[in-house]
Amino acid sequence: MNLALTILIDGVTYASWLFIVALGLTLVFGVLKILNIAHGSFYALGAYVTATLVSLAASWALPPAMSLVAMLLAAVLVAVLVAPLTERGLLRFFYGRDEVLLVLVTYAMFLMMEDLTKLIWGANPYYVSEPYGMFGNIDIGTQTYVGYDFMLVALAVVVGLGVWWGLNRTRFGKIVTAVIHSAEVASSMGIQVSRIYMLAFAVGIFLAALGGAFTAPMLSVQPGLSVGVIIISFAVVIIGGLGSIEGAAIGALIVGVARALAVHVWPVAELFSVYLVMALVLMFRPQGLFQRIQARKI
Amino acid sequence: MMTTFARRTLTASVLALLTHSALAQETFKIGIVSFLSGQAAESFGIPAVNGAKVLVDAFNKGQAPAPYNKPGIGGLPIEVIYVDEAGGATKQVQELRNLYERDKVDVVVGYVSSGDCLAVAPVAEELKKFLILYDCGTPRIFEDNTFRYVFRTAAHATMDNVSMARYLKARNIPVKTYNLINQDYAWGQDSRKDFMLSITNLYPDAKAGVDQLPKFGAGQYGTEISALMSQPADLVHSSLWGGDLQAFVLQAGPRGLFKKSQVVLTAGDHVLPGLGEKMPDGTILGARGAYGLMAPPSPLNTWFWDIYSKANNVYPVQAPYRMAQALMGLKLAAEKAMAANKGKKPSTEVLAASLRGSEWMSPGGKIRMALSNGQQAIQDSAIGRTQWDANKKMVVLNDIQRFDAECVNPPLNVKSEDWLKSGFAGAKCDTKPAAAAKAADKKPAN
């Protein structure tokens, strides 16, 4: 019983930050049809900007709670400053071209951003671990957990519900849905598709940066952060179905719990467990768990 | 007549200038390969390059202490080309060829990754070019191959785990049960195996429990920490390094793992300056040699510590020490070969003969090219225990114990694994005098 509970808690806490990042990836794909390889770079950027802002907050002797505000602000800054620049300055020139070309363009972005972060922040690590201790510890069974991990779970729930509500219960969401179904028809109805693309991309990047900002206190922020994140995020959205919010949530939970089960029961199969689940899902539902089968346009 | 004279004079002047220029430009060219990007850059690649930069600068100015005080190498200015080790073994093989064939370097010094070392060593040998491996850990390079032109100027990874096991035994630290967490690639798996074999020799009744092998660069260790805490053991062994080690300490510290078990980190010294007070007190760690805070006191070490700290605003840890001992060994070997060659650059064959089996003093102590026909180094090692010093605002290391090279490295012509399985047969252990250990504790702070 204790083991099952531990696996469940470990799986859910791992899934929380992963869901936030994967949600951004799936949103960008759903709206812009871009498989954004550079998504992990925006995650890393969120972590770096957080490191800078939290350090600034500490140097100004602001109350510790302000570091949470600084983390949120870091994600907003990345979304507001970097996302429009990337989407308007680069990606829009490749819309309508082969999707493989866009994958290559975002791969080039990933390589450049790795160097860019090193140019700005250098190769030395940054630590912003103070917020990690803000929520105290919680004892459950034989384990001691850090309260911050549960705060991340709550944040993931809020973010997931927020994005779902935004897409399904607001006028903006309906416009985005229209663009997802057919950009051409939406355009003919007077919708500024390019504006929707930019906003959707910014929201996707915000989520990547938010994931980076709120995991930064658990990590040493340094070059190389982006690689692992993008690979595991892809596994999540492929399991859940590209472009599906529910899929990202369930995919993250499946990956988190499968991984936790392997680590506790058969540690050498940790990586294998994630990709085994992915392979099984693809065998029976090649489109992922939550993506509806769509008629191909001719 | 005047025209002819003038033409001849001009021609002679131009020839003289060209000759002078050619002579003035003759340099000793070194290709240094280390991680400048990616996950290994921050902890190893860039500190090693920073170490190379201060050392080469001091060599070129003739400002290093004797016997390294001759300007450059044998009077020739040292010219360095830095290459990024990131990109995988295939890329590194091509880069190595470029360094030798396009850039015409005399020597390549490099490689942190064991995979890269295994890939480039046979290529240098085939090209008959001089190669020094300065850091990578796997013992297999020289135990499974025979080389003439490839050297490793630092001890391999077996030493780290033998030293750790010997330290635990010497300090009577109980090890009835132990858990492990190591990265799932050559370094982590070799370290895990070496530690288990070493512990079996010294604690025959010790039982291994949880055995975690997270992937390299995992970053998130919450689940692994739960697994380690669900079956608490006397000891947790880890060879994690770099960002992985930093993340593990940041996540495991608040969850109380360091209080439940004695955590030992075989290669952990390099994270101390960055982590500072976040490193839990009482953690036992090694540095892959007697480096940094555990280096033996000597004028050479004080000099290196000072020039590195001044240039980089942080004290040197294992990677710059390993780079320094490689460049110092190269300098002495090359100068010895040049002295026998009327001051001219030696051939690769002569240079290799000069380094083979040689010994020299480095900031981390004596380096002896004692294994694998004189191609592989052994050196002393050291282990210590962490304590945050609020006055100095840095982690200091207490209870430092150094081990003779021949106590923690396999003897000549014995493979590491066979040596461990034999119960350290032939090891020569001479306990360091207490005075030496105390002197080590009083090392100047940064």
How far apart (Å, rounded) are the C-alpha atoms in residues B321 and B55?
A: 11
Average pLDDT over residues A26-55: 94
Banded pLDDT at B39 (limits 50, 70, 90): confident
Chain A positions touching B395 (Cβ under 8 A) are none
Tokens 């892809």 -> residue: A234
Q: Is the pLDDT of residue B56 over 50?
A: yes
> What residue of A is the nearest CA neighbor of B273?
A125
Q: Half-sphere exposure of residue A197, counting CA atoms within 13 Å on the CB side?
A: 23
Rounded distance between C-alpha atoms, residue A83 and residue A81, angstroms: 6
B84 touches A at CB < 8 Å: no
Query: Chain A closest CA to B184's CA: distance in Å?
Result: 8
Q: Using alpha carbons, select from A248, A26, A12, A288 the residue that is nearest to residue A149.
A: A12
By Cβ distance, the residue of B42, B222, B226 closest to A223 is B42
Q: Crossing angle, helix B114-127 and helix B186-202, to 10 degrees?
A: 110
Q: Quick check: A129 and B278 CB within 8 A?
A: yes
Report residue B296 as tokens: 């033996």
How far is Cα of residue B157 from the mean position of the Cα atoms in its chain?
10
Q: What is the pLDDT of residue B432?
A: 55
Angstrom distance (rounded) from CA B297 to CA B287? 16
Whether residue A10 and residue B247 make contact (CB cut-off 8 A), yes or no, is no
| pLDDT given at position B7 | 57
Q: Does domain B26-156+297-379 have CATH number 3.40.50.2300?
A: yes
pLDDT mean over B41-68: 95
Chain A residues within an 8 Å CB radius of B42: 123-125, 222-223
Q: Give yes or no for B179 touching A (CB within 8 A).
A: no
Contacts of B219 in chain A (CB under 8 A): 215, 219, 225, 228-229
Query: pLDDT averaged over chain A?
Result: 91
Phi, psi for residue B331 in degrees, rounded to 5: -60, -50
A30 or B434, which is more confident: A30
Nearest Cβ partner of B226 from A123, A143, A217? A143
CA dist list (Å): A89 to A39, A74, A208: 17, 21, 19
Nearest CA distance, A153 vs chain B (angstrom): 14
Tell me the CA distances in angstroms from B416 to B146, B408, B412, one per residue in order. Answer: 16, 10, 10
Lowest mean pLDDT among A108-117, B118-127, B320-329: A108-117
Q: A266 exposed, middle or buried (CB, 10 Å; 0-12, 13-18, 19+)?
A: exposed
Cβ <8 Å between B251 and A146:
yes
**CB–CB contact A6 B218 (8 Å):** no
Which of the pair, A63 or B299, is modelled with greater confidence? B299
B274: contact with A, CB 8 A cutoff:
yes
Q: What number of residues does chain A have?
A: 298
Tell me the C-alpha to C-alpha distance, in Å, between residue A253 and each of A204, A237, A262, B198.
20, 11, 14, 40
Residues in chain B with CB shorter than 8 Å from the CB of A267 are: 210-213, 224, 227
Please give the residue that has the higher pLDDT: either B446 or B357.
B357
Smallest CA–CA distance, residue B3 to chain A, in Å, is: 58
Pairwise pLDDT comparison (A174 vs B42), residue with the higher score: A174
Which among A132, A223, A263 has CB closest to B38?
A223
Going by the DSSP 8-state scheme, the letter that residue A282 receives in this structure is H
For the cut 80, the answer to whether the pLDDT of residue B55 exceeds it is yes
Report the alpha-carbon distance of residue A277 to residue A273 in Å, rounded: 6
Neighbours of A58 (CB within 10 A): 15
* Closest Cβ opposite residue B212 in set A11, A227, A263: A263
Band of the pLDDT at A182, cuts 50, 70, 90? confident
Q: How far is A4 from chain B (nearest CA, A)?
A: 12
For residue A275, the surrounding DSSP H or E stretch is: helix A270-284
Q: Which of residues 182-221 of B touch A (CB under 8 A)?
A: 184, 210-215, 217-220
Distance from CA of A194 to the nearest CA of B (A): 35
Instruction: Quickly tell me which residue has 């960055």 as its tokens.
Output: B274
Question: B85 touching A, CB under 8 A?
Answer: no
For A161, the token pair is 């519900």
Q: Which residues of B touch A3 (CB under 8 A)?
A: 230
Q: Do A220 and B254 touch (CB under 8 A)?
A: no
Mutate one of A145, A263, A266 to test the B interface: name it (highest B CB count within 10 A). A263
Do B156 and B139 form a contact (C-beta atoms < 8 A)? yes
Give the contacts of A18 (CB within 8 A, at least 6 positions apart): A211, A232, A233, A236, A252, A255, A256
pLDDT of residue B435: 41
Check B184 against A268: CB less than 8 A apart: yes
Does the pLDDT at position B224 exceed 90? yes
- Of the ranges A95-99, B61-65, B205-209, B376-380, which one carries the lowest mean pLDDT score? A95-99
Classified as helix, coil or strand, A276 is helix
- What's the gap in Å between the CA of B305 and the closest CA on chain A? 19
pLDDT at B444 over 80: no
Question: Taking 60 as the threshold, does the pLDDT of residue B258 lie above it?
Answer: yes
Domains B26-156+297-379 and B158-293+382-441 share a fold: yes
In this predicted structure, the answer to whether residue B434 has a pLDDT above a threshold of 60 is no
State the amino acid at position A202 in one-letter form. Answer: A
In chain A, residues with a C-beta closer than 8 Å to the C-beta of B223 are: 10-11, 14, 259-260, 263-264
* CB < 8 Å to A269, chain B: none
Domains and CATH numbers, chain A: 2-284 (1.10.3470)
Residue spans of beta strands (DSSP E) within B124-171: 130-133, 150-152
Q: Is the pLDDT of residue B397 over 60?
A: yes
Among B263, B316, B267, which residue's Cα sits nearest to residue B288? B267
B223 touches chain A (CB under 8 A): yes
| Mean per-residue pLDDT of chain B | 90
Is B158-293+382-441 CATH 3.40.1110.10? no
Task: Give the chain B residue whose CA is nearest to the CA of A142.
Answer: B230
Say what the pTM is: 0.87
* Domain range list for chain B: 26-156+297-379, 158-293+382-441
